[in-house]
């Protein structure tokens, strides 16, 4: 299969990612672990280098020129993210360390402000541990109840069951947009609408969605939408919490420190306005700027092109891998993002992962931080290939051959 | 045979492999061949849980020597376990306490002991030493 894309020049795009030229175990790297983290284009790497080489200084407090420049660059990145997800205001974009911290920030502050004994929070069976454990902690502390939307065997949420779970007691519905293990794209528009009809707040975990599909938070009308920079071609250690202005204003601060205050005295401290109220301490300035450049990069290719091409890769990979005897695809939802989880006969996924690593192919194996989902499906884990727009059908061919070889060795 | 002479023997065996896949093929064969643990010991009490794969380890003292049996749900891990058992099993607690494990490094499998692999092997090695200490304490 040739490296072709009708959507953009794939060879040109691949040349933008220096790591794609490296070898692993003497073989050209085939990177299919994009669900864990994506690779970084030169533009992002250069921006980080450039910040530390020419702009480095602390932001929001210096009168000197460097500090002004750094502040402008960081705030410009916030604006880029705002436009990228179509938030109404740029101060609705809070920079965090990543999706996990964004969820914890809301869990911690939401608990204080809105959650009472006997209240309920709804999540789903396919959540990542980071969208389970913070709510377990919160429910334990506030004597609230955690409810879980079940799934069918294909890996789709049972919306009718969700309708039965939700009630006036439900204070928050926190659901993943795209399953990191199964690739399922959840009908979040409908989920949010039902939550609203019942007076519940909504949080959407967009870590696996933002890198691959167009997000419009105003159209979705969710209260919170969270995601990570490093899965969308930006640096690690920077993430985003989008929240509606009115709700963020109602929440208490998360961490105390510099930058989040207006005035401090030992009698009374007043807090800064959004977004700074939630950004105590010196943020990951270079990370924010790098994320802004990653957004530019995605915009240049076009998110619609990225989505269409990745769908093509998924369809091709699914067809090709089915040629292997004994293959079982885990996650067969009607609407899927570029995630292909599988098992072959009785082979252990980690054995497959270890062998194909020696053939240059990087995939993820294990429970993918979704143990409750694995228990529901009655499997210990899966082997997971997750695709990005810089991957090719030729790479998929090599990957399928490598899996075949591993299966033969293990048979 | 001493523990170290067994380690050296394994290093010798692996020296014929020039390629990674050959090493894995050998480990897979070992993993397939060895009935490593009695089913009655394959329960949570003896389970060392890794993120990637599970390892069960059982130890008993027979005539002054420790007899180890173990198993894993992943076959490459099981092959490596087979080697570790071959090295340590049927030796006295004192010998096990006194000996450093070096053959895994020498045959290039050290990455399997990295904490990030999380396959239960590293925990299993610690557990072997713990058993040796415990049996030694009992003997005194």
| Residue-level pLDDT at A258 | 85
Chain A's closest residue to B28, CA to CA, is A410
A9-13, A254-258, B49-53: lowest mean pLDDT where?
A: B49-53
Beta bridge partners of A184: A336
Per-residue pLDDT, B75: 93
Residues A296 and A311 occupy one common structural domain: no
CB under 8 Å to B125, separation ≥6 — which residues? B84, B101, B113
Residues spanned by the domain of B59: 3-139
Interface contact A348-B20, CB threshold 8 A? no
Q: What is the DSSP string of A329-346?
A: EE---SSB-SEEEEEETT
CA distance A157 to chain B (A): 26
Same domain, A286 and A333: no
Confirm or reject contact between B54 and chain A (CB < 8 A): yes
End-to-end CA distance of chain A: 28
Please choose, from the candidates A81, A6, A2, A17, the residue with its C-alpha nearest in 3D space to the C-alpha of residue A388. Answer: A17
**Which of B24, B51, B73 is closest, CB to CB, to A355?**
B24
Can you give the residue range of the structural domain that contains A105? Answer: 46-300
- Among A254, A284, A300, where does a domain finish? A300
- Among A264, A284, A300, the domain-final residue is A300
Least confident of A152-156, A207-211, A378-382, A393-397: A378-382
**Active site annotation includes B140:** no
Q: Is pLDDT of A202 > 90?
A: yes
Question: Residue A34 pLDDT > 70, yes or no?
Answer: yes
Task: Report, in angstroms and rounded to the nearest whole number, the Rg of chain A calculated over CA atoms.
Answer: 22
Do residues A183 and A94 share a domain?
yes
Q: Which of A25, A359, A380 sits opposite B73 (nearest CB)?
A: A380
Please report the ipTM that was assigned to this predicted complex. 0.88
Asked if A183 and A253 sit in the same domain, the reply is yes
Chain B residues within 8 A of A365 when measuring between CB atoms: 52
Residues A202, A263 within the same domain: yes
Residue A411, min C-alpha distance to chain B (Å): 9
Q: Tell whether A37 is covered by a domain.
A: no
Contact residues, chain B, for A354 at CB < 8 Å: 24, 76
Q: In terms of domains, do A75 and A130 share one?
A: yes
Say what the pLDDT of residue B116 is: 64
- pLDDT given for residue B38 in this prediction: 81
What's the pLDDT score for residue A2?
A: 54
Residues A105 and A134 in one domain: yes
What whole-number distance in Å separates Cα of residue A227 and Cα of residue A240?
5
Q: Considering only CB atoms, which chain B residues are within 8 Å of A410?
A: 28, 75
Number of structural domains chain B divides into: 1
Interface subset of B 63-122, CB within 8 angstroms of A: 73-77, 119
Question: Taking residues A168-173, what's their average pLDDT?
Answer: 98
For residues A352 and A208, state if they share a domain: no
Element (H, E) at A197: helix A188-197
Three-state secondary-structure class, residue A243 = strand
Separation of alpha carbons A239 and A102, rounded Å:
7
Tally of domains within chain A: 2
Residue A226 in domain? yes
Pick from A314, A241, A263: which is nearest to A35 by CA? Answer: A314
Residues A280 and A204 placed together within one structural domain of the fold: yes
Establish whether the linkage from the previous residue to A315 is cis, with ω within 30° of 0. Answer: no
Asked if the C-beta of B17 comes within 8 angstroms of chain A's C-beta atoms, the answer is no
Q: Within this chain, do residues A207 and A331 fall inside the same structural domain, yes or no?
A: no
Question: Are A165 and A157 spatial neighbours (Cβ–Cβ below 8 Å)?
Answer: no
The structure tokens listed for A285 are 């300035």
- Domain-ending residue, one of A257, A283, A300: A300
Catalytic residue, from A15, A36, A369, A410: name it.
Answer: A369
Mean pLDDT value across residues B68-93: 92
Residues of B within 8 A of A348 (CB-CB) are 53, 73-75
Chain A residue nearest residue B20, CA to CA: A358
- Which of A359, A367, A410 lies nearest to residue B75, judging by beta carbons? A410
Under 8 Å CB pairs connecting chains A and B tally to 38
| Residue the block writes with tokens 């794209």 | A185
Q: Which of A355, A366, A410 sits opposite B52 (nearest CB)?
A: A366
Catalytic residue among B16, B21, B51, B62: B51
User: Across-strand partners of B58?
Assistant: B69
Do residues A111 and A132 both lie within one domain? Answer: yes
If asked whether residues A295 and A308 sit together in one domain, one would say no
Any idea which residue has 């502050």 for tokens?
Answer: A109
Nearest-Cα residue of chain A relative to residue B117: A350
- CATH, residue A212: 3.40.640.10
Could you tell me if residue A2 is inside a domain? no
Mean pLDDT of A312-340: 98
Task: Say what the pLDDT of residue B120 is.
Answer: 74
Nearest CA-CA partner of A172 in A126, A220, A111:
A111
Task: Indicate whether A18 pLDDT > 60.
Answer: yes
The chain-wide mean pLDDT, for chain A, equals 96
Q: Does the residue A406 lie in any domain?
A: yes
* Local confidence band at A158 (pLDDT 50, 70, 90 cut-offs): very high
CATH of the domain at A321: 3.90.1150.10
pLDDT at B51 over 80: no
Res B109: pLDDT: 86
What distances in angstroms separate CA A229 from CA A184, A284, A292, A411, B18, one per listed residue? Answer: 21, 11, 9, 40, 41
Place of tokens 């499997």: A379
Residue B4 pLDDT grade (very low, low, confident, very high; cuts 50, 70, 90): very high
DSSP-assigned states of every residue in B75-124: HHHHHHHHHHHHHHTTB-HHHHHHPPP-HHHHTT-GGGGSTTT-SSHHHH
pLDDT of A3 reads 62
Tokens 């009698």 correspond to A267
CATH number of the domain where residue B104 is located: 3.90.1010.10
**Minimum distance, in Å, between the CA of residue A358 and any CA atom of chain B:** 7
* Mean local confidence (pLDDT), A2-13: 83
| Better pLDDT: A5 or A47 | A47
Within a domain: A1 = no
Nearest to A354 among B25, B73, B76 (CB): B76
In a domain, A379, yes or no: yes
> Each residue of A79-128: pLDDT tens digit?
999 999 999 999 999 999 999 999 999 999 999 999 999 999 999 999 99
Touching B: A residues 317-346, CB under 8 Å: none
pLDDT of residue A293: 98
**pLDDT, average across residues A237-258:** 95
């Amino acid at each position: 299969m040739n490296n072709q894309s009708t959507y953009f020049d794939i060879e040109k795009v691949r040349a933008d990612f220096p790591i794609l030229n490296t070898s692993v175990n003497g073989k050209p790297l085939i990177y299919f672990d994009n669900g864990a983290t994506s690779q970084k284009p030169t533009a992002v790497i250069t921006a980080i280098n450039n910040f530390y080489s020419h702009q480095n200084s602390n932001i929001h407090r210096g009168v000197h020129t460097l500090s002004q420049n750094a502040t402008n660059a960081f705030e410009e990145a916030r604006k880029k993210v705002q436009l990228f997800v179509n938030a109404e205001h740029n101060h609705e974009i809070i920079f965090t360390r990543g999706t996990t911290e964004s969820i914890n920030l809301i869990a911690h502050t939401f608990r204080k402000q809105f959650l009472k004994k006997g209240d309920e929070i709804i999540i789903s069976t396919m959540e990542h541990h980071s969208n389970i454990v913070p709510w377990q902690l919160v429910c334990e502390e506030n004597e609230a109840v955690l409810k879980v939307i079940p799934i069918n065997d294909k890996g789709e949420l049972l919306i009718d069951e969700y309708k039965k779970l939700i009630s006036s007691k439900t204070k928050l519905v926190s659901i993943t947009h795209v399953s990191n293990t199964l690739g399922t794209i959840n009908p979040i528009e409908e989920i949010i609408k039902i939550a609203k009809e019942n007076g519940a707040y909504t949080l959407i975990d967009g870590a696996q969605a933002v890198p691959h599909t167009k997000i419009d938070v105003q159209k979705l009308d969710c209260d919170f939408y969270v995601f990570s920079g490093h899965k969308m071609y930006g640096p690690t250690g920077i993430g985003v919490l989008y929240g509606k202005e009115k709700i963020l204003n109602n929440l208490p601060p998360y961490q105390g420190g510099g930058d989040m205050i207006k005035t401090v005295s030992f009698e009374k401290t007043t807090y800064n306005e959004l977004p700074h109220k939630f950004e105590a301490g010196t943020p990951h300035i270079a990370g924010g700027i790098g994320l802004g450049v990653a957004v530019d990069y995605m915009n240049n290719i076009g998110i619609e092109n990225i989505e269409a091409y990745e769908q093509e890769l998924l369809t091709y990979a699914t067809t090709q891998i089915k040629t292997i005897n004994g293959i079982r695809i885990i996650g067969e939802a009607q609407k899927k993002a570029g995630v292909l989880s599988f098992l072959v006969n009785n082979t252990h996924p980690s054995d497959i992962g270890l062998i194909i690593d020696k053939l240059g192919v990087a995939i993820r194996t294990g429970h993918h931080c979704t143990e409750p989902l694995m228990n529901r499906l009655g499997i210990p884990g899966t082997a997971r290939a997750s695709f990005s727009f810089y991957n090719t059908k030729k790479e998929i061919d090599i990957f399928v051959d490598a899996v075949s070889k591993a299966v033969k060795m293990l048979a | 045979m001493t523990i170290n002479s067994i380690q050296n023997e394994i290093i010798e065996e692996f020296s014929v492999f020039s390629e990674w896949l050959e090493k894995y093929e050998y480990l897979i064969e070992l993993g397939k061949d060895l009935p490593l643990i009695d089913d009655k010991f394959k329960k949570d009490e003896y389970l060392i849980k890794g993120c990637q794969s599970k390892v069960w380890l059982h130890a008993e003292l027979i005539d002054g020597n420790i007899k180890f049996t173990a198993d894993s749900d992943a076959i490459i891990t099981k092959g490596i376990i087979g080697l570790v058992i071959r090295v340590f099993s049927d030796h006295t607690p004192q010998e096990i306490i006194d000996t450093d494990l070096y053959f895994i490094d020498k045959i290039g499998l050290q990455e399997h002991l990295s904490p990030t692999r999380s396959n239960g092997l590293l925990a299993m090695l610690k557990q072997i030493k713990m058993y040796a200490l415990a049996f030694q304490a009992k003997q005194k």
